A and B are shown apart, each in its own frame.
Chain A
Amino acid sequence: MSNGMSMAPAIDTTRLTRHFGALVAVDALTIAVPASTIFGLLGPNGAGKSTTIKMLTTLLAPTSGSAHVAGADIVRDAPRVRERIGYVPQMLSADGELSGYENLLISAKLHHVVSAERQTRIEQALAFMGLTEAASALVRTYSGGMIRRLEIAQAMLHRPAVLFLDEPTVGLDPVARRVVQDHIREVRRESGTTVVMTTHDMDEADELCDTLAIMHHGRVSATGSPASLKATVGSEATLDDVFIHFSGGTLDEGGGYRDVVRTRRTARRLG
């Protein structure tokens, strides 16, 4: 980025912790995400990925520990964090009852993009995401891949320093998935935005991410580039092997009922 942030990490957390009653969802998490990289957060359901994203996007207060996102403290300076991030939740957050253009317009206004810039940026975003022709159609008529592209465009209108994508390709067919992945790469290349994403797709993590952190029971069990992680496990290892190795390899994790319902609902709406 042009503003001198490239040297400092885009995100750093220090013993970031969140309890839910007796459950420790995130346990003394300490990570640093270099600026202008794509950072993948992996782990089984219930490992603490979503809770981590919620804390970093200021939706949930930590129980203890601290974190800085794009230079601002997530607790003391939450409004500043919100100015500097873009967020695409796992659920389909584009409004189906509005057109693609209207979704972008509302996002631009809520992120305080000046009125003189709004039209240009919306048109650019639509062209960039290949949605110009569908701009005036209601989003509920869009395909899953179109909705995801629209959502990423919405989250990028105010040129955030950090973009959070929670399972951006879940439920998409292989072609749509490929298109969304290409756009994530493009976003990073064109704007230098740091991308933090979660995924269950190991091929995607391998191809897309510069750095990975594998979470297990609220802690980071391994971190590094996909290549270095594979080398740690074995010379022939795939990222699947890495995942199984560092997340305990057991089937009894499962995730909560609500997680599963939410993922299925998202998948159904995308499909």
Chain B
Amino acid sequence: MLSAPAARPGVWANAGAAAHFVGDTLTIAEADWRKLRHDPVELLVRAVQPALWLVVFGQVFGRIRDIPTGAISYRDFLTPGVLAQSGLFVAIFYGISAIWERDLGVLQKYMASPVSRVALVLGKGLSAGVRGVSQGVIVFLLSIFLRVDLRFELGAMVGVLAAIVLASAVFATLSLIVSCLVKTRERMMGIGQVLTMPLFFASNAIYPVDLMPGWLRVISAINPLTYQVDALRSLMIVGGTSVHGLGIDFAVLAGFLALFVAIGSRLYPSLVA
């Protein structure tokens, strides 16, 4: 048989596995980030929908005095929900880009490289986080314009970023799992549509959970979006409170991410087989 592993000059043969893992994850996200920089128009187009939710839906529903939003106005209540939703709508279709990359051969090339499957999946999640943050910035700017009572504290803003990145990664990896099961862009497009609406409406994004019938409350309690919005509401809005507590919110999101990355990295190779 062949000789022992030969030294390959100029290649990190002995760097720790952990260093490779972090570097690889960042590189996968970097590729996406660079694409986004080449085509910033996409970001502007995506800003239209949250703007409509805040300006049209928010203005009209704000007149219904019966929605119990606690100490804050409905407009302030809605803003974190719209921010979370704008990230969700981008991330939940991430699986389509995975299938697209499979059709182009990009994924085959990644899979034949030394990058671990976990880093490939987590890197995709992280790149959805980057897109989520850029969406978040736009919603933030819109909210300033709409005079939403925002908290401008550094700690809270870092928390907002963390919640966006984490939740975007959760939905993107969920989408990736589905794409590995359905395997075609057309089916994935349909399923993305089917997923977004229940995730959005069975959450606390646009109305308090207390208004829901019992069965919907159960779905809301296992919906990652609920925990993202819950965290955002207390981190973004002056006087906003977290129902579950920030510790629970972040723990649930992290738990979902770990679960979805574990499943996704098992299924991902089947896309190219």
- Interface positions of A (Cβ within 8 A of B): 1, 3-5, 8, 54, 57-61, 68, 70-72, 79-80, 82-85, 87-93, 95, 97-98, 102, 106-107, 109-114, 117, 121, 138, 154-155, 158-159, 161, 164, 265
Contact A98 B3, beta carbon cutoff 8 Å = no
Residues of B within 8 A of A71 (CB): 1-6
Distance to closest chain B CB from A204 (angstroms): 20
Distance to closest chain A CB from B250 (angstroms): 30
Residues of B within 8 A of A107 (CB): 109, 113
Find A5's partner among B3, B15, B273 (CB 8 Å cutoff).
Answer: B3
Find A91's partner among B1, B24, B27, B103 (CB 8 Å cutoff).
Answer: B103
Find B104's partner among A82, A87, A93, A158 (CB 8 Å cutoff).
Answer: A93
Residues of B within 8 A of A110 (CB): 24, 27-28, 110, 113-115
Distance to closest chain B CB from A17 (angstroms): 15
Contact B10 A85, beta carbon cutoff 8 Å = no
Contact A95 B31, beta carbon cutoff 8 Å = yes
Distance to closest chain A CB from B17 (angstroms): 10
Distance to closest chain A CB from B242 (angstroms): 38
Residues of A within 8 A of B149 (CB): none
Contact A114 B10, beta carbon cutoff 8 Å = yes
Which residue from chain B places its CB closest to the CB of A69 in the assembled complex? B2
Beta-carbon contacts of B17-42 to A below 8 Å, as 1s and 0s?
00010011001101100110011000
Contact A5 B10, beta carbon cutoff 8 Å = no
Q: Which of B31, B113, B269 has the most CB of A within 10 A?
A: B113
Contact A58 B10, beta carbon cutoff 8 Å = no
Distance to closest chain B CB from A89 (angstroms): 4
Further contacts, 19 of them, CB under 8 A, given A91-B103, A110-B24, A113-B10: A5-B2, A5-B3, A5-B6, A8-B2, A57-B108, A58-B112, A68-B1, A71-B2, A79-B114, A80-B5, A87-B108, A93-B106, A97-B35, A106-B30, A109-B30, A110-B114, A114-B12, A159-B9, A164-B112
Distance to closest chain A CB from B4 (angstroms): 8
- Rounded to whole angstroms, the CA-CA distance of A119 and B115 in the bound complex is 21
Residues of A within 8 A of B3 (CB): 3-5, 8, 71
Asked if B197 is at the interface of the complex by the 8 Å CB criterion, the answer is no
- Rounded to whole angstroms, the CA-CA distance of A19 and B269 in the bound complex is 17
- Rounded to whole angstroms, the CA-CA distance of A91 and B2 in the bound complex is 32
Contact B105 A89, beta carbon cutoff 8 Å = yes
What are the 10 closest A-B residue pairs judged by CB atoms, nearest first? Answer: A71-B2, A91-B105, A93-B105, A3-B6, A89-B105, A117-B10, A87-B112, A112-B12, A109-B27, A97-B35
Contact A60 B104, beta carbon cutoff 8 Å = no
Residues of B within 8 A of A121 (CB): 10
Asked if B147 is at the interface of the complex by the 8 Å CB criterion, the answer is no
Find B39's partner among A72, A84, A97 (CB 8 Å cutoff).
Answer: A97
Find B10's partner among A54, A83, A89, A159 (CB 8 Å cutoff).
Answer: A159
Residues of B within 8 A of A58 (CB): 111-112
Contact A90 B27, beta carbon cutoff 8 Å = no
Contact B108 A68, beta carbon cutoff 8 Å = no
If A68-B1, A114-B10 touch, whether A59 touches B111 (CB-CB below 8 Å) is yes
- Rounded to whole angstroms, the CA-CA distance of A117 and B9 in the bound complex is 10
Asked if B65 is at the interface of the complex by the 8 Å CB criterion, the answer is no
Distance to closest chain B CB from A61 (angstroms): 8
Contact B34 A102, beta carbon cutoff 8 Å = yes
Asked if B11 is at the interface of the complex by the 8 Å CB criterion, the answer is yes
Contact B10 A91, beta carbon cutoff 8 Å = no
